Amino acid sequence: MSTSIASTSDLQHQQERIFAALDGFRIEVPSWGFANTGTRFGKFVQAGAATSIAEKFADAGEVNRLTGAAPTVALHVLWDLPNGTADVETIRGLEAEYGVKAGSINPNLFQSQEYKFGSIANPDAGVRKAALDHLLESVEIGKALGSRDVSLWIADGSNYPGSQSIRRRIEWMEEVLKATHDAMNETQRMLVEYKPFEPAFYHTDIADWGMALHLARVAGPRAKVLVDTGHHYQGTNIEQIVAWLLHTESLGGFHFNDRKYADDDLTLGSIDPYQLFRIFHEIVSTPGETTDNIAYMIDQSHNLKGKMEAMVQSVVTAQELFARAALVDQEALTALQDECRLVEAEELFRSAFWTDVRPMLRAWRKARSLPVEPLQELRTSGYVERISAERGARNQASGGSYA
Ligand code: LRH
Ligand code: MN
Ligand code: MN
């Protein structure tokens, strides 16, 4: 009798925690996740893939309608605003039409021929200036759209030892990033993403979180580090990096995805859901940390899965893993850790991970007047069939494009 009373109140307690966690959880979808993508060996065109910025906003709006948790869409400047600030009005119109806002602004310093030997770390001052101009324009786009984060991924690096000065390139990057930071307003932030390899295969100028943290510090107080989960060597303890960035108040956000081998950009949680649970746990266990300071973003490209299905699946999976992390009883865990009751601590941690939170997510969606089964709702809505019919011919003709 007493057990059942206890378990009812336990369930209520769990539900309260999960509802509170989900109410505060938002995740940004990438515009490029709706477009045709592929590998360096080729692209497989999908009939329903978005080939214009309007279609990307339409798709992002639909993901948000289905999940209620994805109100912003990350924009890649070259792909989504090819005319720079001149495209801001178009974006504003799309925001109003589809009910989702522009999220992080991602400058593109990796596609133009002039960046063959680097952008902000290029030995040629003229090229560095062109890169800075693009960054400054991205800052202006952010201001005009009221978007908080300018999110930088610098693809610079070299392929052969001795072919470039690693040290001088650090100085050049410091200069450009500081100038970019100086141009931001008080509400803007700069996120510095790191990646150890690809496209460069000997050295990458911003290869890990230490380098990103240093550059962020030199740039200024509103520059933070962005952790893309796919940008680590195998075996790296990513949640430990997250803990250090939280401790040093320099965690700006995430690009979530999963991988088996390299930067595979697979659906988050598809290969190792426990890892994302552990990352979320570092955040929810940090006293005073609110998710407002951390930009949760998806950075995935689904070459084989349907784009819309994959994106809805990703948002839902992120919610499930966040909810599971929120279930860890922090007080009890701390007590067990302090007494070094190792197995009990681990079991408490693991039990939260193994809890099936899906019934509670359904209850939360019902309470918030959202579709109770977002993936099912996507299927029955006919949205994918409709966009496939509308966009199919154009997609076949285009052969697929990231823009
Ligand atoms: C680089 C990266 C970066 C880019 C995106 C398209 O691998 O993660 O964030 O902007 O992919
Ligand atoms: Mn990324
Ligand atoms: Mn990547």
d(CA 353, CA 56): 34
Classify burial at 402, counting beta carbons within 10 Å of its beta carbon; exposed 0-12, middle 13-18, buried 19 or more: middle
Site to probe by mutation for ligand 1, drawn from 109, 231, 299 as the one with most ligand atoms within 8 Å of Cβ, is 299
The distance in angstroms from the start CA to the end CA of the chain is: 62
d(CA 277, CA 388): 35
74-78, 256-260, 283-287, 289-293 — which is least confidently predicted? Answer: 289-293
Cα four-point dihedral sign 237, 277, 197, 245: negative
Average pLDDT in the 101-106 region? 98
**Which atom of ligand 1 is nearest to 228's Cα?**
8
The reply to whether 10 falls in a domain is: no
pLDDT value of residue 89: 98
The reply to whether 6 falls in a domain is: no
Here the CATH number for the domain that contains residue 85 is: 3.20.20.150
Q: Interface pTM (ipTM) of the complex?
A: 0.99
300 lines ligand 1 (CB under 6 A): no
The reply to whether 348 falls in a domain is: yes
The reply to whether 353 falls in a domain is: yes
Q: Do 249 and 278 touch, CB atoms closer than 8 A?
A: no
Give 291's pLDDT tier (boundaries 50, 70, 90).
confident
6-15, 171-180, 265-274 — which is least confidently predicted? Answer: 6-15
**Preceding omega of 107 cis (within 30 degrees of 0):** no
Q: Do 44 and 303 touch, CB atoms closer than 8 A?
A: yes
Q: Do 28 and 68 touch, CB atoms closer than 8 A?
A: no
Distance of CA 357 from the midpoint of ligand 1 (Å):
31
Tens of pLDDT, residue by residue over 223-242, are: 999 999 999 999 999 999 99
Tens of pLDDT, residue by residue over 132-160, are: 999 999 999 999 999 999 999 999 999 99
Ligand 1, atom 3, lies closest to the CA of 153
Distance of CA 153 from the midpoint of ligand 1 (Å):
6
d(CA 294, CA 318): 14
The reply to whether 7 falls in a domain is: no
Q: Do 86 and 69 touch, CB atoms closer than 8 A?
A: no
Average pLDDT in the 165-188 region? 98
pTM: 0.96
Please name the amino acid found at residue 93. Answer: G
Residues with CB under 5 A from ligand 3 (ion): 263
The reply to whether 146 falls in a domain is: yes
Domain housing 61 = 18-394
d(CA 370, CA 352): 25
Tens of pLDDT, residue by residue over 305-335, are: 999 999 999 999 999 999 999 999 999 999 9
The reply to whether 91 falls in a domain is: yes
The reply to whether 211 falls in a domain is: yes
Q: How many domains does the chain have?
A: 1
Phi-psi domain of 162 (left: phi exceeds 0; alpha: psi -120 through 50; beta: other): left
Distance of CA 154 from the midpoint of ligand 1 (Å):
9
